[in-house]
Amino acid sequence: MTKIGKKEAIVLSQTVTYSMIEEAKKNLAGVIKETDLIYAENLSSKTGVELYLKLENLQKSGSFKIRGAYNKMLHLTESEKKRGVVASSAGNHAQGVAISAGKLSIESTIVMPKNAPFAKISATKHNGANVVLEGNIYDEAYQKALEIQKESGAVFIHPFNDPYVIAGQGTIALEMLAEQPDLEVIFVPIGGGGIAAGVAIAAKTIKPSIKIIGVQSENAPSMYEAVQLNKIETVKVERTIADGIAVARAGDLTFPIIQEYVDEIVTVSETLLSQAFLFLLETCNLVCEGAGVVSVAGLLANAEAFKGKKVGAILSGGNIDVNMIESVINHALVATGRRTQIKTAISHQPGELTRLLSCISDEGGNVLFIYQNRNRKGLSMYQMGVTVVIETIDEAHKQVILNKLKAYGYEFYFGGSTTNKIDTN
């Protein structure tokens, strides 16, 4: 975990005040849903903390973004409203702007990356926005949105680098601490920094002793790197399931707020994100997008440091493309030893396949897929190649089955050469 050096913080956070967040709460009354804060019993047991989940995945539009978007657009002048608005977004801000624009009778244009999830593109169009697809990451869509704004004269609604947007997102903390004033730690996602900045200002004002832990994908660590270097740099963004926080450059408004108010930042891997997704699905019956599970992933990675604490974690969004769900779940199952692909070879004669499968089933393994072929390099003319995908309870159960297969004398193949190790690739 990266502790933020408070002495080096550039204090510009006066541009967003606690009173602005309180005003935003009044502005949002009747517009947004005050989402539930639920006790997560299974996750609490797993992590050793008393964990409460803030369900912004069940917010109107499917994410917290409507809070900041509506609060910003409510402050536009009548002249600005007539000019329309333009925004760039990986998806959630897009829907927040589109819904808010519809409520306020404002024309909206949203620029989204070409690889944005289909569900988010479709929902944004459904909510009345004109959608333009440009670039492969948020920052490329952002540049296109600036071009449209310059050409059309529309007002640009920034997803995180705006005081009214930040204030709107900060209302999440007001709700959390009103319901659970004894919270000692809040885990919050960080992309460009809007939600983290707003939540941190609100929470620290109400309760200065509370710890704010920001969580960012290690494939898009823009704020993490900015804090490390004490300056904003553009970072390389790798593909991540947390597409909603895949931002290459931290906001120049949010960065000093993060420095001043956020206590620590942790980055999480794609594997840990997939495991957090699966854990929320299986134990809490909650579906979140990749960016929505980062706070839980951050806790899972650092649970030991917070044992015994009363912790809040914000599930920031639930707008995951259904086509991604299978891939995310499969990745998590493989990573946790619950699903394994085994490649081996058997004698090409009656009963040999039954013998192999019996080794697996006798130990409680479940065969999900089996494929046979005689064309694998390294096989003799008397052998059959077999690929089996098995389902197991956990890593320990998987090892029991693998050990039994080894004990029965199976040889396993890597590119034509034999080995006493099982090929699970």
Q: Which residues are catalytic?
A: 65, 316
Question: Are the CB atoms for 277 and 329 separated by under 8 Å?
Answer: yes
Question: CA quadruple 141, 142, 147, 151: dihedral positive or negative?
Answer: positive
156 within 8 A of 162, measured Cβ to Cβ: no
Is residue 132 a contact partner of residue 112, using CB atoms and an 8 Å limit? yes
Select from 192, 165, 185, 186 the least CA-distant residue to 64: 165
| 182/170 Cα distance (integer angstroms) | 18
Q: Measure CA 299 to chain center.
A: 13
CB contact at 8 A, 301 and 276: no
Which residue is associated with the tokens 């090409």? 348
Strands (E) in 292-420, as ranges, are 310-315, 339-347, 366-373, 383-391, 412-414, 417-419
Could you tell me where the DSSP H helices lie in 41-137? Answer: 41-47, 65-74, 78-83, 92-103, 118-126
Instruction: Give the closest residue to 72 by CA, choosing from 133, 19, 27.
Output: 27
Determine which helix (DSSP H) or strand (DSSP E) holds 224, and give its type and residue range.
helix 222-229
Separation between Cα atoms, residue 101 and residue 155, nearest integer Å: 12
